[in-house]
């Protein structure tokens, strides 16, 4: 994962909605794998030799599971139609790259407040 991806993933797991879903918190995980898709469809990757598990926000299925499994039940929608999405004072225009991940993490953070 790139530094930008790591930063976004750490921001995501800081939200209570994702906390407690890492593989080490799932009794079905038996270890030995660098990646784990939890029962909600979120793909987790371990970083630093397994000391830290983070959601893979480059995985479209993971983003979809967060959008529709966590945010939608809270009444929060995420989409490229958002009028003003800013990250580090720059407008996000790339919806195919990390732009979608930024929007999902922003929505998670808003939901956790």
Domain boundaries, the chain: 3-111
Listed as ranges, residues in the chain with pLDDT below 70 are 24-32, 49-50, 79-97
Per-residue pLDDT at 84 = 44
Per-residue pLDDT at 18 = 80
Per-residue pLDDT at 56 = 92
Would the CA dihedral through 97, 105, 87, 35 be positive or negative?
negative
Per-residue pLDDT at 86 = 45
Per-residue pLDDT at 75 = 77
Per-residue pLDDT at 82 = 46
Query: Where on the phi/psi map is residue 18: left (φ > 0), alpha (ψ -120 to 50), or beta?
Result: alpha
CA distance 34 to 54: 11
Per-residue pLDDT at 89 = 47
Per-residue pLDDT at 55 = 92
Tokens standing for residue 101: 């991940």
Per-residue pLDDT at 87 = 45
CA 73 to chain centre: 16
Per-residue pLDDT at 9 = 92
């Amino acid at each position: 994962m790139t530094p930008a991806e790591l930063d976004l993933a750490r921001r995501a797991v800081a939200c209570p909605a994702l906390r407690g879903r890492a593989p080490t918190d799932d009794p079905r995980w038996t270890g030995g794998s660098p990646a784990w898709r939890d029962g909600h469809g979120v793909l987790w990757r371990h970083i630093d030799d397994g000391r830290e598990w983070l959601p893979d926000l480059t995985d479209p299925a993971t983003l979809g599971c967060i959008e529709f499994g966590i945010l939608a039940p809270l009444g929060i929608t995420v989409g490229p139609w958002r009028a003003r999405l800013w990250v580090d004072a720059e407008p996000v225009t790339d919806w195919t790259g990390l732009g979608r991940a930024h929007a999902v993490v922003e929505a998670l953070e808003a939901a956790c407040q």
